[in-house]
């Protein structure tokens, strides 16, 4: 529905621009008046090309616009949630890297997965850490990020 409106508006704007250019280049006199009339009809044709609400179902088009608006809002909300999830995961990963460095540990990689909580926000759910298991870092991750040891996966370089 919005694409049809967009196409209609582009047709009007395009027709207006072409008409303005042709009228500006037209020679003075009767030719300019004829071109002005032709441009007027062309613009009228572009305007009439609009799909107006039908007399039988004037609210049908409104319902279509409403549904498109709802779909757009839903997609925007999902995109916002996904971006927030990514930010939470990135911040938690950076936190683990920082705490590991503070403990003198060398990590090969860190990955945190967030989940949607019952309270309506993202929380760190699990993590995978490329390093030998370390009790001190595991305790920090559990207490500070809320990821219990059973949802912490430690991967050594050996496999």
What string of pLDDT tens digits covers the 159 residues of the chain? 566 667 777 777 877 877 777 777 776 776 677 777 777 777 777 777 655 555 555 555 556 666 777 777 778 878 877 888 999 999 999 999 999 999 999 999 999 999 998 888 899 999 999 999 999 999 999 999 999 999 999 998 665
> Which residue range(s) make up the domain with 130?
85-155
- d(C-alpha 151, C-alpha 98), whole Å: 20
The reply to whether 93 and 30 lie within a common domain is no
The reply to whether 28 and 97 lie within a common domain is no
The reply to whether 57 and 91 lie within a common domain is no
The reply to whether 100 and 145 lie within a common domain is yes
> Total domain count for the chain?
2
The reply to whether 12 and 55 lie within a common domain is yes
Question: Is residue 4 within a helix (H) or strand (E), and if so which, with residue range?
Answer: helix 2-25
- Specify the pTM: 0.56
The reply to whether 64 and 92 lie within a common domain is no
The reply to whether 73 and 89 lie within a common domain is no
The reply to whether 6 and 68 lie within a common domain is yes
> Are residues 128 and 153 in contact, defined by beta-carbon separation less than 8 angstroms?
yes
Alpha helices, H only, 26-130: 30-48, 58-102
């Amino acid at each position: 529905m919005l694409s049809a409106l967009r196409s209609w508006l582009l047709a009007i704007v395009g027709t207006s621009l072409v008409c303005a250019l042709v009228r500006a280049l037209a020679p003075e006199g009767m030719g300019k008046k004829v071109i002005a009339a032709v441009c007027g009809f062309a613009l009228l044709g572009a305007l009439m090309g609009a799909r107006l609400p039908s007399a039988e179902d004037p609210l049908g088009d409104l319902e279509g616009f409403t549904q498109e608006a709802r779909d757009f809002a839903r997609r925007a909300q999902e995109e916002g949630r996904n971006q927030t999830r990514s930010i939470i995961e990135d911040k938690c990963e950076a936190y683990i890297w920082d705490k590991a460095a503070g403990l003198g540990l060398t990590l090969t990689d860190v990955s945190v997965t967030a989940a949607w909580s019952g309270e309506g926000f993202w929380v760190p759910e699990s993590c995978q850490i490329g390093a030998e298991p370390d009790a001190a870092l595991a305790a920090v991750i559990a207490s500070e990020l809320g990821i219990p040891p059973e949802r912490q996966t430690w991967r050594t370089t050996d496999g």
